[in-house]
């Protein structure tokens, strides 16, 4: 069930994704529970396994900066500056979504969250799948976000097809989430990337738009 990060296992994990299965994988923030983000049936399994409410959108994980175009047409210069500076890293950008992104991923919203994890195993795995991976943290509803493969196994057991073991997550804190909407930047969640660093790149203050359902620390993580 738990598989070491060998080339062969990364390949197997990507094959499971291609055939509609679920793979838990390491990122620098926490372990993610991933499915092919363009396969709504596979994505539905994530909600089922986690017991996650369907109104809570998932983040699309990409393996290369250029794969941004899989999920959005956004070409705003300041957004591209953020990507240049902080991808890969603990920053999720919420941007207008392409029609191709299934509604189940975005919980019916017209925007999509996208991130490129700063973890070599995650990147290799995602690139190998040739898609974007929809993934929340690999824990059950109401439980802590896992930072090791063992934590994932304890919570999800047989409900996940494959757990790729990449050791302990370095950051242990969720990604910072920033939305770009109608020419303005909003902070949706505090996380691993300090707000000041983001503000320095965009040259203005982020507007706060923090909801109770997106807490800022894994120790009070709900979903």
Pattern 9-48, Mg ion, x by CB under 5 A:
----------------------------------------
- Residue in the structure block whose two tokens are 């503000």: 199
Burial 8-47 (b: 16+ CB within 10 A, else e): ebbebbbebbeeebbbbbbbbbbbbbbbbbbbeebbebbb
- Does residue 174 contact residue 145 with C-beta atoms inside 8 Å? yes
Closest approach of Mg ion to the CB of residue 204, in Å: 29
Pattern 44-73, ligand AMP, x by CB under 6 A:
------------xxxx--------------
| Residue 174 in the binding site for ligand AMP (CB under 6 A) | yes
Pattern 116-155, Mg ion, x by CB under 5 A:
--------------------xx------------------
Contacts of 28 (CB under 8 A, 6+ apart): 89, 90, 117, 118, 119, 122, 169, 170, 171, 192
CB closer to ligand AMP, 71 vs 123: 71
| Residue 177 in the binding site for ligand AMP (CB under 6 A) | yes
| Residue 188 in the binding site for ligand AMP (CB under 6 A) | yes
- Residue in the structure block whose two tokens are 């196994």: 153
Q: Restricting to residues 66-125, which ones interact with ligand AMP according to CB under 6 A?
A: 94, 106, 109, 111-113
- Rounded to whole angstroms, the Cα distance separating 179 from 77 reads 14
Contacts of 15 (CB under 8 A, 6+ apart): none
For binding to Mg ion (CB under 5 A), which residues are involved?
136-137, 223
For binding to ligand AMP (CB under 6 A), which residues are involved?
56-59, 94, 106, 109, 111-113, 136-137, 174, 177, 188-189, 214, 223
């Amino acid at each position: 069930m738990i598989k070491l990060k060998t080339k062969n296992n990364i390949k197997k994990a990507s094959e499971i994704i291609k055939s509609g299965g679920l793979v838990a994988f390491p990122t620098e923030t926490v372990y993610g529970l991933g499915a092919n983000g363009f396969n709504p049936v596979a994505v539905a399994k994530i909600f089922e396994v986690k017991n996650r409410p369907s109104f809570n959108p998932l983040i699309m994980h990409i393996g290369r900066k250029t794969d941004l175009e899989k999920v959005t047409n956004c070409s705003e210069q300041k957004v591209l500056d953020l990507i240049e500076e902080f991808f890969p890293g603990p920053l999720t950008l919420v941007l207008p979504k392409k029609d191709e992104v299934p509604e189940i991923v975005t919980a019916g919203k017209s925007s999509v969250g996208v991130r490129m994890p700063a973890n070599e195993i995650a990147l290799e795995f995602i690139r190998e799948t040739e898609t974007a991976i929809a993934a929340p943290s690999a824990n059950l509803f109401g439980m802590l976000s896992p930072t090791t493969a063992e934590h994932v196994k304890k919570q999800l057991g047989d409900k996940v097809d494959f757990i790729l073991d990449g050791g302990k997550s370095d950051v242990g804190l969720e990604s910072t989430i920033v939305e770009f909407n109608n020419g303005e930047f909003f902070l949706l969640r505090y996380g691993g990337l300090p707000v000041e660093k983001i503000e320095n790149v965009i040259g203005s203050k982020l507007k706060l738009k923090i909801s109770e359902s997106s807490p800022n620390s894994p120790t009070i993580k709900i979903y």
